[in-house]
Structure 1
Amino acid sequence: MHIKRFKDAQPYEAPNHFGCYGLRLQGFEQGGPENQWVGYSQFLPGGGAGPDSTPFEKVYVVLEGEMTLTIDGNTTTLGPLDSCTIPAGEVRLLENRSNQTSKMLVVIPYPPES
C-alpha cells in the first residue's frame, strides 16, 4: 500500500492549461501506482484547458463546481460527481464558465517515455 497525504501533494503545471492549479495526488514516485497517476485540478473562473488532445485516454471526475467540455462542436457541462473519459487523440476544450472555483480529479496513464 502507498499512502500519500494531501498536505504532501506537489504542484505541477499541465501543458496548455490556464487559470489552473494542479496537485499530483499519486504517481511519479517510489511505491506509487505503476500504470497511471492522479491529479487534483482547481480551475479558477475562466480557467480551462485546450483545445488539444493527448496520445492516451484520461478520466475526469468533477468534485465541486462545474466544467464545460466541448468536443467536435458538442458542448456539455459536468457537475459534482459527473465523470467522463476522453479517448486518446480526441481534441477537447475544458472551461470553467462559472464564477466559482471548480475542482476535479484527473486520472491519466503514464506517458510512454516515463
Structure 2
Amino acid sequence: MEVKRFDSAEPYDAKGHFNMSAMRLQGKGVTNLEDYWVGFSTFLPGGGADKASAPTGKVYVVLKGEMTVTSSDGEVILGQYDSCYLPPNTERSIENKTNNPVQMLVISPN
C-alpha cells in the first residue's frame, strides 16, 4: 500500500487552466502508480480550462460545487458527486460559472 497524505500534496501547473489550483494525489512521479494518475483541482469562481483535447480519456468527479463541462455533445452541469467520462481526443472546456469554489478529482491514464 502506498499512502499519499493530502497535506503533503504539491501543486502542479495545469496547462490551459485558469483561476485554479491543481495538486497531484497519485501517479506521475508522486507515487509508484503507473497505469493512471489522480489529481485534485480547486476552481475559483470564473475558473476553468480552455477548449482542448487530450490523447487519453479523463474522468471528472465533482466533490463540491458545480462545474460546467462543454463538449461537442453539448453543455452539462456536474454537481456534487456527479462525474463524467471524456473519451480520448474529446475536445472540451470547463468553467465554474458560480460564485462558489469547486473541488474536483481528475483521473486519467498515463
- Shorter-chain TM-score range: over 0.9
The 5 Å alignment of 1:27-38 reads 27-29=27-29, 31-38=31-38
Match of 2:52 in 1: 52
- Distance in 2 (CA, whole Å) between partners of 1:30 and 1:102 is 23
- Distance in 1 (CA, whole Å) between partners of 2:51 and 2:12 is 19
Gaps of 5+ in 1: none
In angstroms, what is the RMSD of aligned CA positions?
1.2
- Distance in 1 (CA, whole Å) between partners of 2:12 and 2:30 is 17
Paired amino acid for 1:106: V
Secondary structure of 1:55's counterpart equals coil
* Aligned length, in residue pairs: 110
Secondary structure of 2:7's counterpart equals helix
TM-score (norm 2): 0.95
Residues 75 and 29 (structure 1 numbering): CA distance in 2 closer, same or farther, change over 3 Å? same
Residues 1:92 and 2:76 are matched in the alignment: no
Match of 1:26 in 2: 26
Gaps of 5+ in 2: none
Give % identity: 48
Match of 2:72 in 1: 72
Secondary structure of 1:85's counterpart equals strand
Farther-moved stretch of structure 1 (46-55 vs 64-73) = 64-73
TM-score (norm 1): 0.92
Match of 1:17 in 2: 17
Paired amino acid for 1:77: I
Stretches of 4+ aligned residues off by more than 3 angstroms: none
- Distance in 2 (CA, whole Å) between partners of 1:31 and 1:21 is 20
